[in-house]
Amino acid sequence: MPRISSHVLDTTRGVPASGIHIQLFKLINAEWVALQQDTTNSDGRVANLLPENTPLETGRYKIRFALESYFQAQQQPCFYPQVDIECHLKSEDEHYHIPLLISPFGYSTYRGS
């Protein structure tokens, strides 16, 4: 089943980052439209950011990760209060996994599987 999933890992602590608020947006007519929001589970994962019973459409998407409250809860500094990842999804039949690796002063992402 086509879906958009994510996994957030705290590389400073070496653990999954639970409790991070994530929002999914789609670019429609030159405006970012919010589609769905969720929070990472105890394993730092969100299984599907698409709204229930919503097919995956090709297009440009943005995933916003709210990091400030997570790092505050860890009593860590936070240089990047949020991270936006934009991507082109070109197939309606694929699973898109978009992981985020975070630390108080940096982040990295890649297309996962």
Q: What is the pLDDT along the chain (113 residues), one digit of tens a residue?
A: 679 999 999 999 999 999 999 999 999 999 999 999 999 999 999 999 998 888 899 999 999 999 999 999 999 999 999 999 999 999 999 999 999 999 999 999 999 98
CA 83 to chain centre: 9
Overall domain count for the chain: 1
Parent domain of 49: 3-109
The structure's pTM equals 0.94
* 68 membership: H or E segment, kind and range: helix 68-73
Whole-angstrom Cα Rg for the chain: 14
Q: What sign has the CA pseudo-torsion 94, 100, 16, 11?
A: positive
CATH of the domain at 18: 2.60.40.180
